[in-house]
Amino acid sequence: MKKVIVGISGGVDSIVAAYLLQKEGYDVEGLFMRNWDSSINNDIKGNPTLNENICTQEQDYNDALDVCNKLGITLHRIDFVKEYWDYVFTYFLDELKKGRTPNPDIMCNKYIKFDMFKKEADKLGADYIATGHYARMIDGHLYKGIDDNKDQSYFLSQVSIDKFSNVLFPVGDLKKEEVRKIAEELNLSVADKKDSTGICFIGERNFKEFLTNYLPNTPGDIIDIDTNKKVGEHIGLMYYTIGQRRGLDIGGNDKRLYVVGKNLDKNVLYVSLGDDTKYLQSTSCIVEDINYLSDKRPTSASAKFRYRQKDIPVTIEYLEDGNIEVFYDNVKSVTPGQACVIYDGDECIIGGIIKEVRKDGKKLEYLL
């Protein structure tokens, strides 16, 4: 009997994945990862600051233990707190310091779930590992999950294809409502549990308050990019994303504003007034940190620049420095630091991180 170690998070997807494998006759065990110290943060000087009322990770473990006990699945527990800090959270902070828009979930999959986790599973004698990701492996290639609304191949785009050689995605062929129905039929306590959101393994928090524990606030001017006049003050460039309209807190201005860019050297946040989104539109981007998930090197394909974004037709130029330039027709809010994921139909073939955004061949300087 082949042994599968399933990453059990305490959510409905991972436990249904474990149940489905158990039903298929695998020897199934679970492994719960503790990747964040949910009771303590450090301030910008490294001093611990207690955060009361944050106990979701322990609740997740209790939920995981409850459902595993019900299904007769042994649940192991491992701490990756230091590894998560070193490889995921530090990256997240460094990218924010650069004014970019990082996706820590992608790095968590690359360094924790499909690296550290796999090594721990090997110690437990695993023939396979499995997770509750909505994705599919077909003939050694990574494909989207069939549920368009839940597909998570975007978040797997930085994982080396060889890491998937013994990986199973049991819920990738199911819709989310089917997964919940299975959990309900089994009378599992997590059947109606809300999907996790927020920063990977850190969860939902007041983002501004949370970041002040690690990065100092540096207030500065908000400048109207059309008039070059000051229209307000920002509380720190790291708190704003390209295209953002809410939360600018510019008193006395009844027009609609949206964020169009940042200048780190001058500590300036650029905004534009009205409904004209011309500053958000670009026609190509340079993508670095390329991860090839296939031998395919198409010049025409589709891409996503954000999770759950509809597929966008693109053309691709492969550059001599190993990066690629991805061309498209006036897409809004393509932003440095985001992932660019290339697809051939439903197959995920290339992942990378956006380095530079261009319009008609010229770099958009206000986008860093």
| Residues with catalytic roles | 108, 200
- Using a 10 angstrom Cβ sphere, with 0-12 exposed, 13-18 middle and 19 or more buried, the burial of residue 306 is middle
216 within 8 A of 241, measured Cβ to Cβ: no
218 within 8 A of 236, measured Cβ to Cβ: yes
156 within 8 A of 109, measured Cβ to Cβ: yes
Cα–Cα distance for residue pair 10/77, rounded to 1 Å: 12
Which has the closest alpha carbon to 29: 134, 164, 137, 128?
A: 128
Q: Encoding tokens for residue 262?
A: 């940042």
**Beta-bridge mates of residue 48:** 42
Give the sheet arrangement for strand 27-34, strand by strand. Answer: 74-79, 27-34, 3-7, 128-130, 167-168
Residue recorded with tokens 């609609």: 256
Cα angle, residue 61 at apex, residues 60 and 65 outer, rounded to 5°? 120
Cα–Cα distance for residue pair 318/296, rounded to 1 Å: 12
